[in-house]
Chains A and B, each alone.
Chain A
Amino acid sequence: MAQGPTIFPSSFKSFSQKAETAVSVALGQHLAASNAIRQAIATYLHLAGIETGYGYFAPNVQGSYKLVFELHYPDGRVEYELPSVSGAAAGLRIAGLLDKIGRTPYDPLREHLVKTLALSIWREHPEVKTIRAVFGSISLPSVSEFEHGKRESYEFLYAYDFSLQNEPAKPKDR
């Protein structure tokens, strides 16, 4: 409620933000990170598995994200790869990771996570010279749009170029 659009009027947002602040105070999140009480509460929450909320697919179901790697070989050849895993269970986890990459407001975190996925591609294709990671969102059609022939569409969000010389990525936003 405090962060996203809901069916409640916008005036309700300030109340929600106050409630959110009250809860974070109760959980010690306004104390210093090294504070023993804050650390003890955080430890208990993690040990019991209750450190996150229960708003799965709520309040609304957002679109998903897609990451495509453009592999550039020394001989000029270009190939395309998607982040791949062996099993369906791990596939769900990679999809969750892409959601986290897409939703994070922190550019350095986004770049780091994309880089970790690019590294796994590099392990499989060690002869590749450079990798361009293209990150985009998938827009889902509504029922009526689908009935009129519209299908899911891909919107470009970010691109990162990685090379083997451990150079920092060159982000190319939108």
Chain B
Amino acid sequence: MQVPKERILGFLFPAGTDNWLAILRLGLGLQTTLYSISLRNDWNDLLRGGSGRDFAEALLSVESHFVPRLGWFVALGEHVALREESILTVAWICLLVAGCGLLLGFFCRFSAILAWFFHLCAAESGGFVSYGVDNFMTIGLFYLVLSPLPDRYSLDWWLRKARPKDPQLLGFWRRVVQLHLCFIYFFSGLTKSLGSGWWDGSNIWRSLIRPPFNVIDPEILVRWNYLFPVAGIFICLLEIGYPFFIWNDKTRKVWLICICGMHFAIGVTMGMYLFALIMIILNIAAFAQGLIGDSAKQLFVRRQTAHA
């Protein structure tokens, strides 16, 4: 029984560098910053009381009273004669500052908590106008908050000489992100494969001509219609095969490139840039270690240190 237990612990707590955490922090910093900037002009309109925020928050209260929401701050602001617009603007600024803080690695932990909290507030309060990108940002920021920050590329490391309190958890949280991604892709692929439209390519066509994702002129798309069944089957196999082929050293690189390529293509052909970016960030942070300049020697040294 000892050997399986050791193997499980070895799997859950692998030795490794903090490169993946640096990628996750930088990526989520960029994502949060771009997210804030992209919604700059519409933020107040999407999240004001009369826009459906009150209703979304009321529905949220049926599920739980403890999930963060912008309504808390608006109610608080009313006590000190602050207008709803001002509160929403402050929330937007906080999110932008948190994104920039993550990018620079300045007060990493505080920035991560701030970004997770205010993004979650916006995503939950704007429940009717939120979509997949919000879920994946919450997932990424949630794991970033729990991971042992700061990483060695951050300003905290160099200027404030801050060090992570639990560096032994670096490998564990990376493993959790990896397992979560496997779960996501497997079920995403499985549900797609249940629809006949992914096998005959019609779902690819419909995805690309469906407003507001119709970035490419259908007249151009239709010339490539013989590729749609191939693309549909390829996407199903890529997603279902993800948890089986991403762990193997020989297939990981190909799978990672293909999955990131798929998200890049979705971003370009359907205009879902933020969605594409968050998925690429999560994939690279979770599985690119060892593929992008992480030396085996470094890993070995760390492992030795841990045992000593």
Using a CB–CB cutoff of 8 Å, the interface residues on chain A facing chain B are 1, 6-8, 33, 39, 42-43, 46-50, 52-61, 63-64, 66, 85-97, 100, 112-113, 116, 119-120, 138, 140, 142-143, 146-147, 152
Contact = CB atoms under 8 A, between A and B. Distances in A.
A7 B195 contact: yes
Given A48-B142, A54-B187, 16 more contacts: A7-B196, A39-B65, A42-B67, A49-B136, A53-B187, A55-B187, A56-B132, A58-B188, A59-B195, A63-B206, A89-B38, A89-B42, A97-B52, A97-B129, A116-B51, A143-B205
Contacts of B247: none
B255 interface: no
Contact of B64 (A43, A49, A60, A66): A43
Nearest to A144: B225
Contacts of B67: 42-43, 46-47
B306 interface: no
The binding surface of chain B is classed by DSSP as helix
16 contacts: A6-B194, A7-B193, A39-B63, A39-B64, A42-B63, A42-B67, A49-B136, A53-B187, A54-B184, A58-B191, A59-B193, A64-B211, A85-B45, A85-B46, A92-B212, A116-B51
Contacts of A85: 41-42, 45-46
Interface stretch (B23-31, B77-85, B120-128, B160-168): B120-128
A143 B228 contact: yes
Interface string B16-53: 00000000000000000001001111100110001110
A140 B206 contact: yes
A122 B212 CA distance: 24
B139 A50 contact: yes
A42 B64 contact: yes
A90 to B, nearest CB: 4
Contact of B207 (A33, A50, A61, A112): A61
A66 to B, nearest CB: 8
A48 B212 CA distance: 29
A10 to B, nearest CB: 13
A119 B274 CA distance: 28
A24 B124 CA distance: 21
Interface string B188-229: 100111111111001101110111100000100010010010
Contacts of B130: 93, 96
Contacts of B51: 116, 119-120
A154 to B, nearest CB: 11
Contacts of A58: 188, 191-192, 194-195, 198
Contact of A57 (B62, B124, B134, B207): B207
B188 A56 contact: yes
B89 interface: no
Contacts of A43: 64, 66-67
B138 A147 contact: no
A39 to B, nearest CB: 5
